[in-house]
Structure 1
């Protein structure tokens, strides 16, 4: 799953994670998200997760602690 970046849609002002999204990496990098998530949301105001999707087959692309906040459209795009 290299080439994908996990980003957080956060609540303001406390910056709590509201939704977890996936975005393709920007060209030439593996850690910076491109301009849009797989569900079409703008990544500009999102926080990039320090956690990266595992290359292990069958593992989740998102951090387990946010499993209940995963965007369904991004999950579908990631093959979940």
Structure 2
């Protein structure tokens, strides 16, 4: 499945909105069609380099959407 995501490739760099390939859900996971997502202050810390983090990183952990697929279990 192809998605659009705002990806942080390197701390301190601007976000890059790109198309990406997303695998279906694995065991114990669900696939959510995100209708809205917010980037809040806690997302800015890893983006600016205030907190150590692995990249690439898709910011935004406050979302709303519809469950589209459920993995096993």
TM-score by length of 1: 0.26
Normalized per residue, the structure richer in helix is 1
TM-score by length of 2: 0.27
Higher alpha-carbon Rg: 2
**Relative contact order: is structure 1 or structure 2 higher (C-alpha 8 Å, sep ≥ 6)?**
2
